[in-house]
Amino acid sequence: MERDNVEAHGWAQVQVQKSFAAREKPGTLYLVATPIGNLEDMTFRAIRTLREADLIAAEDTRQSRKLLTHFEIVSKRLVSYHEHNKDASGPELIRLLQEGQSIALISDAGLPAISDPGADLAAEAVSRGIPVVPIPGANAALSALIMSGLPTDRFLFAGFPPRERKGMDRFLDGIAAEPGTILLYEAPHRLKKTLLALAERWGDRRAAIVRELTKRHEEAIRGTALACAEYLEEHPPLGECCIIIEGTRGKSVSDTGTSGADGQENWWSALTMGAHVAHYEEQGRQRKEAMRLAARDRGLSRRDVYQALLGEEE
């Protein structure tokens, strides 16, 4: 980060937060986790914090009112704070915090400030020396990770992938070399498209599609990225989903399509396109899959590979 940006956001000098030190001002911003499906996942501490806060800020006040009513928190002031009103609502919440009020921030489900505008409010509070206190609880990405069967000792949470194809390509380029397990969120109506984009590049990587976490229809679909994509073609997904896909660690050079750590050439650089495809066919892969893997290695489309193969045959 540029030094002037550091100073502008209050990071130039060390700031020490004593979360529970006695003080009159400022107030405290509590980031309170709510259930991601099963109401029994609400913690005692979360309930107490919501009851004791001066104000509750919620992403969707209608949904949050149902939750609060269930836990008999009915007389608390509830205000709206979400992506579309954060520029107007955020400064007012900061003003109240500076005056000494305590505010509990909740999202529709799970931990606030994870891929939602709560992160902006927390950052602004930190920049002004306002204590930010987490009240932990359910989280969809980590819950999906631990039930996926994929490595958990190192992982990257990458949030929601971009919607546009160019943005998706840049996004995947940015995480292509990630050695740890990759965690993504995706809406059900976009899941197949995103999974196909993953399968085009990393079709042989292990993946898990986890949906409806903690609910009655909780489900995990496990297989290669390509196999999962094909499965979803016949079984359209319902409910919010997490995509968990393995990283590059433990993959051979031929699996990942990258050069070795010593900077040597790609293993396939001296091969013709036909020999490159044949390499994968000799491993027992179908012709179509072998062409897809060769395309991934070379950063080409399957159409490019097909045209190259035709050229070699002429």
Please state, in angstroms and rounded to a whole number, the distance separating the CA atoms of residues 149 and 223: 11
* Position 299 pLDDT exceeds 70: yes
Task: Tell whether the model's pLDDT for residue 23 goes beyond 60.
Answer: yes
* Whether the predicted model's global pTM rises above the 0.75 cut: yes
Residue span(s) of the chain under CATH 3.40.1010.10 come to: 25-138
Please name the residue ranges forming H helices in the chain. Answer: 3-8, 44-52, 61-70, 86-98, 118-127, 140-148, 165-175, 191-202, 225-234, 253-256, 273-281, 287-298, 302-313
Locus of tokens 């013709």: 272
Looking at the chain, the whole-number percentage of residues with pLDDT higher than 70 is 91
What is the fold, at CATH topology level, of the domain defined by 25-138?
Answer: Cobalt-precorrin-4 Transmethylase; domain 1 (3.40.1010)
pLDDT at 260 over 80: no
Phi/psi at 229 (nearest 5 deg)? Answer: -65, -45
The domain covering 141-245 belongs, at the CATH homologous superfamily level, to Tetrapyrrole methylase, C-terminal domain (3.30.950.10)
Q: Helix-strand-coil percent breakdown of the chain, rounded to 5?
A: 40, 15, 45
Structure confidence at residue 3 as a pLDDT band (50, 70, 90): very low
- pLDDT category at 283 given cuts 50, 70, 90 is confident
What distances in angstroms separate CA 94 from CA 9, 27, 118, 227, 257, one per listed residue? 15, 9, 12, 48, 49
Q: Is the pLDDT of residue 54 over 50?
A: yes
Structure tokens at 12: 């130039």
The percentage of residues in the chain with a pLDDT greater than 90, rounded to a whole number, is: 60
Residue with tokens 């990405």: 141
